[in-house]
Structure 1
Amino acid sequence: MKKIILINLIVVAALNAFGQKPDDVKVLGDQAFANKNYYAAAFYYKEAATGFNVEPQTVIPFRGDTKAGKKVKAENSDYVSYQLAESYRLYENYLEAEGWYYKVVTSGNSAKYPLARLWYGICLRADQHFDEAVKQLQLFIAQYNGAGRYKDMAYEELRNCQFAKEQYLYPALLDVKMMNGKVNNDGSDYAANINNGKRYFTSSRMLKSDKKHLNRIYILSDDANTNPELVSFNNANDKKEIEYGTPSIDPTGKHMYMTRWYKTGDKTVHAIYMSTLGGNGWEEPVKLNTNVNNEGFSSIQPFITADGKRLFFVSDKPGGQGGEDIWVSDIGADGLPVNSHNLGATVNSPLDEQAPYYDIVEKKLIYSSKGFTGLGGFDFFVTYETVGQWSTPKNMGYPMNSAKDDLYYLPDNNDRKKAYVSSDRESDCCLNLFTVYDKKYILKGIVTDCDAHIALAGVKVSFVDSLSKQTLYEQTSGADGVYAFSVTTKRPYTMVLEKKGYFTKVVSAPTSGRMSADTLINPDICLQAFVINKPIVIKNILYDFGKSTLRPESEKVLDSLVKILVDNPKMKIELSSHTDSVGSDAYNMKLSQDRAQSCVDYLETKGIPESRLFAKGYGKSRPIAPNSLPNGKDNPEGRQLNRRTEFTVLKVE
């Protein structure tokens, strides 16, 4: 509806403003603003700003330019700038509002508008200038001495900035694209619903019959280039310019629930109605009983569940948490509600919630809210129901959500990888219909034994968010050694593989590689077995003759041991060094001790605590091969095997 108001009010505004002086146009702006006609107010204030030679700060210093606007009388300039910024913000045109707020907060009279910096910060956040938004919000918190609720708002916006920065950096694996064809028109198009193969939605496009923009229910053609079909109701009294929207049809296809509204004076009356499908089409809608509709309050946006047993809806009637809340009613055999109750403070916030969708299989509710940390405007949240209790709502992230309003989620029952939403993310006025394409995939692989090269059962494989360190999923491999995890965002992930008697291994989850359908095939990961107090030879630890200093290539080999120790933080080991039989016992004992210590010293430089490492030289006392042949001749191969470095697991706490 915002665009309809814009068209009508701008026409009136242009006529009223023609030939007016700046002061007169400013008065018209004040009148429109007082009536909450923010589109018209913005038009008038912009005209006044032009007359007063007021310019917005279109290029802002933090973006590399310090050009200022023209000099004008402060009492005119600051007031018009602030009111113009307010008008833009209040119809969610944050981009235009941003420059005008900047002009106010950098003026010499900014103290007259103490909330300007808060709104400026909010506009910066909405326009994705997160770092500057944080700076402005922190300044506001430090400087503002007014009502505490505005500081609370600033703190919430700081949380939104941090959340948004992370979401834009690591978005969900989704593509959100505006629907093509004639579904999106010159008004708002929103609230998709599918029943028996027919795709219903709401649109405020111009009615050909009376050349007016009114919300009506339409059926979308399978041909995207064919105009949608208007849904009519028999004997419906539309003389009052009654509007219809947000259809939801029960599984029998015989009952359509909808919002119906009309204006009485300055007041708009909203209620939920039901129409029954008869032999000649949809009958005149009947207002639902007082279980849903309370006189003097609004009830809107019905959603009937797939089993026809419950009706979720939105209302500001008494008994809620504040603003518009999500409610639910049980539905009788006649399709009418028999009760209603508020979903409570877990689901509902002190602000507004809207557009519920409930999945009876997964027992999840997807809805939109302004009251929790998010990207801005209405964001999608999901919560799960367990024996009448609801889980903490989780923001569905970017790009499912945007800095503007995102509402009316509906999955495509014929394609599990597709859904429909409504959003004004690509408009300065109106909701449009978008298709959401699910791009998540399965990461699948096999765990094997490094020595036996066979699948390894009984391995606990954990899938961990590398940023939050939160374990998202855990699986135990079966006889085939297979694990599989669903990857839903571009965040970095880690896999932790654990089995008793094997070194734990921590590896980064790959983000690319060989795909099979929607499955990313991870190369096999092997685990190395160990036995307490049984030495394991570290190959290619090399020293110059008679020296204990590690050679560079030896350090690279020890890095693999560093990885083992990092992945197994409760493990204590002994580093031991051995020599061949050349030289005296004392010489070889000292040389081996020094070499073992050089390994320990290197590991300590890599952050391994000294308390986990023990150096031990054994000289030539523990050969694993003969140093000489049976005929008494030298055995170079045997001596080479004896000149070794080993590590032994002493303890796993």
Structure 2
Amino acid sequence: MHMRKNWLFLILATTFIIAQYNSNAQKAISGRNSINDPTRVISDEKELGLALGLFVGGSYFDAIDYYQDLRSRDERNPYLAYILGECYMATRDYVPAAHHYAETYYLDKKDYPLSAFFAGQMFKQQGEYKQAITWFKQFLTDNKKTAANNPLDNNFNRTPTQKEYKNYKKLAQIEIDGCEMAMISIKDPAPVNIFNCGPNVNSAYTELSPYPLGDSMLLFSTLNRNTLEVTTFNRKSNKPDMISAEHFMIAKKQPGYVDSFQWPLPFNDGGFNAQGLANGANVGNGCYSPGGDRFYFTQCKVKDSFRFVCKIYYSQFLEHKWSPAMLVPSVNEADGEESNSMPFVAKVGKKEILYFASNRKLQSRGGYDIWYSVIDPRNGTFRRPQNCGKAINTKSDELTPYYDTRVGKLYFASNGRKSFGGFDINVADGGPSRYSKVQNLGYPFNTSADEFYFIKDPVGKPDAYIVSNRIGTIALKNPTCCNDIWRIQYEPRLVIIGKVLSKKDQSIMPQSVVKMLDQKSEMTTYSSEDGNFIFNMTRNHSYVLTADKPGYTSSRATVSTMSVKRSDADDTVHVTIYLDSIKHSFSVSNIYYDYDQATLRAESVASLDTLVNFMKDNPSIQVEIYSYTDGKGTDEYNFPLSQRRAQSVLDYLEKNGVERQRMTAKGFGKKNQVAVEVTPDGKTDIPEARQLNRRTEFRIIGDLPTRRVIFNSAMPGSMDQQERNLRQEADDEPDPAGAKAPKEEGDN
């Protein structure tokens, strides 16, 4: 497990910047000699000592400046590249972190084999999943048998053991599985909208622990600063002198606006902020008991080297006021060095349970685990904490528990399971001691960045909040350095479930690709192996569904969600798409022309629109358009007239989005009449028959595979890549033979 990231520091406290590590830390950097790899010889020990002191002290941004300067004169030093990767990872600046780890690997993969693993992690946290998989696989390939001689470990002083390498290999496979899960989930997002809560809640520093108070207010913890926090380091106490501290604030929602917040105000109930300030502690993670008569929160004190130790406090509402906050007994040790934090209290069955995260060692699964304590209903005391077990906890870190009593589910953040990157929100059924069906919430709840503190509204439709450093946060030093609170609006789950059937006998048609286009012509495909398919829809869309299978033409199904409201219930629509074997010739009724005219009549438009849809729904089809006249007039006159009529149809189709190269217009005059135009005595015209002969027919002359939308999700490559491969195969085959023109009279 990679413990150089002090996750509790990143989550529970803001990222402080040390302005002065010692009296020499800020002098001008100039005129220094080149340094060599300190694993061999240190030639500028003083400068390197300053940089390392800043790094160990947690001042990663300042350390970066020093290490970058050192490396500018020694660009091929693998140690400097490696520790810069460490600095950038600690500040969650994923792009340069990946760059420096990758450079380390290419400079000295023998001494720094873990650089491949960490490069994979940093590419993953950018969302570059394919590159991440490549690096994780490289790490596994390089370390098939024995651990390499890595001169540095998490503490920069010993070689990792075989057991530690074994854990890294397990993590590498988990990371690969997470990349593959993410690439699939992103293609099928959950029906939610997620947006930043805005500058009235979020600042450039980290915001944490959102706790909705009914449907009108939000309690959260924040430093509430948008400028760089400068902190001096006290050399006597070996601790930083804090200027600002994390504290509670409260924001009301704007009247009449959905999820828009007013300017935040201090949360003065119980004097919890003041108590934290008096104790020199950061305050956060507030929550109420189910009855509202107890308030739980965390105080975190900074120790040496920016190590935070957190304790859980609670206060009772007695005689119209809150009691002084007290340590939760049995959960905390007053002078213990372990951290207990992130309390959440909920009813689980008939029991009132205090959930929390702790890095205590006894009965631990590793790292931070989710624990629980049963609150005795008789006297309100807390029973001995129990680990939530291996179904929840891993050898890495589990944090920010939240239990939804309404559905009986525990939500928590973990970085020890398959993830989109870093910490993801997971959910499990059961509690408090037994859990099942643990699963990742998927996209867009989780992203390649870190996600924590998932919590739903307590009343009404269960919208939710989440804390994340995803792109879109209010940035301090880099786009993903710090956490913001995000709002989650659940959309009704709208699903299309359908079948592809044969038009001839209603049998299931396997091996087809079902396409769903919205009103913006954005396409989603489903490779249906068994004739069944399913799509997710969103509100305010119109969809057209068709199927694609060689040798067949498709009907279409239309579905609209334009009238669906966000408050509506989930809905499932069942549709059927019919495939018909390609007919070489077919007529389209109601395409009429006036006598002696090539202009389309108004009543022809509806039929032509049907043909437009047919051509768009079957993009591989090539057609010839045949037009005819009635029997009046000479051939010399009727052939050009019929050609103009065929051209008018082609022009209409092209104007409405059918590609010109897929169509050919041909006129055949008065040949191949389909109706007798005069009475048997030859004296009286039959107008209806003449109108029928003034017709347009269509003949399919080709089914080009290069234009077919073929996508098999079980095959490698994207849809575009598969189409390119198919096009290349088609180029190697002879052109399909065109069909002959219809027989003229007398041709036998």
Give the 3 Å change call, closer, same or farther, for CA 155–385 of structure 1 in structure 2: same
Which residue does 1:361 correspond to in 2?
Answer: 406
**Secondary structure in 2 matching 1:400:** coil
**Secondary structure in 2 matching 1:408:** strand
Which residue does 2:451 correspond to in 1?
Answer: 406
Which residue does 2:124 correspond to in 1?
Answer: 125
| TM-fit CA distance, 1:14 | 12
Equivalences for 1:234-273 in 2 at 5 Å? 234=271, 236=275, 238-265=277-304, 268-273=308-313
Which residue does 1:298 correspond to in 2?
Answer: 339
| TM-fit CA distance, 1:440 | 4.3
- Is the aligned partner of 1:29 residue 2:51? yes
**Secondary structure in 1 matching 2:110:** helix
CA distance in 1, matches of 2:178, 2:406: 32
- Is the aligned partner of 1:435 residue 2:487? yes
Equivalences for 1:149-160 in 2 at 5 Å? 149-160=167-178
| TM-fit CA distance, 1:137 | 2.1
CA distance in 1, matches of 2:535, 2:391: 34
Give the 3 Å change call, closer, same or farther, for CA 524–345 of structure 1 in structure 2: closer
RMSD: 4.0
| TM-fit CA distance, 1:360 | 1.5
Structure 1: 5+ residue stretches without partners: 53-71, 452-465, 468-489, 497-504, 528-537, 544-653
Which residue does 1:344 correspond to in 2?
Answer: 389
Which residue does 1:394 correspond to in 2?
Answer: 439
Spell out, residue by residue over 1:234-268, the C-alpha distance to the aligned partner (whole angstroms, 9 max, x if none): 48374331221100101332210111122355553
Q: For residue 257 of structure 1, what is the amino acid of its counterpart?
A: Y
| TM-fit CA distance, 1:419 | 0.7
CA distance in 2, matches of 1:276, 1:118: 48
| TM-fit CA distance, 1:541 | 10
Spell out, residue by residue over 1:215-245, the C-alpha distance to the aligned partner (whole angstroms, 9 max, x if none): 1122222342423223353483743312211
- Comparing 316-325 with 263-272, which one deviates more in the overlay? 263-272
| TM-fit CA distance, 1:103 | 2.4
CA distance in 2, matches of 1:332, 1:203: 33
8 Å contact 1:2–1:429 — kept in the other structure? no
Give the 3 Å change call, closer, same or farther, for CA 438–148 of structure 1 in structure 2: same
- Is the aligned partner of 1:19 residue 2:28? yes
Match of 1:421 among 454, 466, 469: 466
| TM-fit CA distance, 1:378 | 1.3
Q: For residue 117 of structure 1, what is the amino acid of its counterpart?
A: A
- Is the aligned partner of 1:230 residue 2:278? no
Q: For residue 522 of structure 1, what is the amino acid of its counterpart?
A: V
- Is the aligned partner of 1:49 residue 2:97? no
CA distance in 2, matches of 1:73, 1:510: 51
Spell out, residue by residue over 1:27-61, the C-alpha distance to the aligned partner (whole angstroms, 9 max, x if none): 322222344543332232123234x1xxxxxxxxx
CA distance in 1, matches of 2:288, 2:527: 41
**Secondary structure in 1 matching 2:343:** strand
Give the 3 Å change call, closer, same or farther, for CA 431–387 of structure 1 in structure 2: closer
Spell out, residue by residue over 1:532-555, the C-alpha distance to the aligned partner (whole angstroms, 9 max, x if none): xxxxxx999999xxxxxxxxxxxx
Give the 3 Å change call, closer, same or farther, for CA 126–10 of structure 1 in structure 2: farther
Q: For residue 8 of structure 1, what is the amino acid of its counterpart?
A: I
Give the 3 Å change call, closer, same or farther, for CA 493–365 of structure 1 in structure 2: farther
CA distance in 1, matches of 2:277, 2:176: 47
CA distance in 2, matches of 1:34, 1:45: 13
8 Å contact 1:311–1:331 — kept in the other structure? yes
CA distance in 2, matches of 1:160, 1:523: 32
CA distance in 2, matches of 1:417, 1:403: 25
- Is the aligned partner of 1:212 residue 2:212? no
**Secondary structure in 2 matching 1:233:** helix
**Secondary structure in 2 matching 1:236:** helix
CA distance in 2, matches of 1:43, 1:78: 17
Which residue does 2:520 correspond to in 1?
Answer: none
**Secondary structure in 2 matching 1:98:** helix
CA distance in 1, matches of 2:535, 2:168: 43
Which residue does 2:111 correspond to in 1?
Answer: 112
Which residue does 1:595 correspond to in 2?
Answer: none
8 Å contact 1:207–1:213 — kept in the other structure? no
Match of 1:331 among 375, 378, 383: 375
Equivalences for 1:197-208 in 2 at 5 Å? 197-205=216-224
Structure 2: 5+ residue stretches without partners: 1-8, 33-43, 148-164, 228-240, 255-260, 472-478, 504-512, 515-523, 538-542, 544-558, 586-748
8 Å contact 2:388–2:433 — kept in the other structure? no
CA distance in 2, matches of 1:231, 1:121: 45
- TM-score, structure 1 length as denominator? 0.63
CA distance in 1, matches of 2:112, 2:226: 44
Give the 3 Å change call, closer, same or farther, for CA 169–78 of structure 1 in structure 2: same
- Identical-residue share of aligned pairs (%): 20
Which residue does 1:614 correspond to in 2?
Answer: none
Which residue does 2:100 correspond to in 1?
Answer: 100
- TM-score, structure 2 length as denominator? 0.56
8 Å contact 1:187–1:205 — kept in the other structure? yes
Spell out, residue by residue over 1:336-383, the C-alpha distance to the aligned partner (whole angstroms, 9 max, x if none): 323432111111111111111111221110111111111121110000
**Secondary structure in 1 matching 2:180:** helix
CA distance in 1, matches of 2:403, 2:461: 16
Which residue does 1:506 correspond to in 2?
Answer: 532
CA distance in 2, matches of 1:126, 1:425: 9
Aligned residues: 467
CA distance in 2, matches of 1:189, 1:91: 16
Give the 3 Å change call, closer, same or farther, for CA 380–113 of structure 1 in structure 2: same
**Secondary structure in 2 matching 1:105:** helix
CA distance in 2, matches of 1:298, 1:539: 69
Q: For residue 398 of structure 1, what is the amino acid of its counterpart?
A: Y
Q: For residue 126 of structure 1, what is the amino acid of its counterpart?
A: Q
Which residue does 2:667 correspond to in 1?
Answer: none
| TM-fit CA distance, 1:450 | 13
Equivalences for 1:520-539 in 2 at 5 Å? 522=573, 525=576
- Comparing 125-134 with 248-257, which one deviates more in the overlay? 125-134
| TM-fit CA distance, 1:272 | 0.9
Which residue does 2:717 correspond to in 1?
Answer: none
Which residue does 2:352 correspond to in 1?
Answer: 309
8 Å contact 2:101–2:119 — kept in the other structure? yes
**Secondary structure in 1 matching 2:25:** helix
8 Å contact 1:248–1:304 — kept in the other structure? yes
- Comparing 176-185 with 232-241, which one deviates more in the overlay? 232-241
| TM-fit CA distance, 1:110 | 3.7
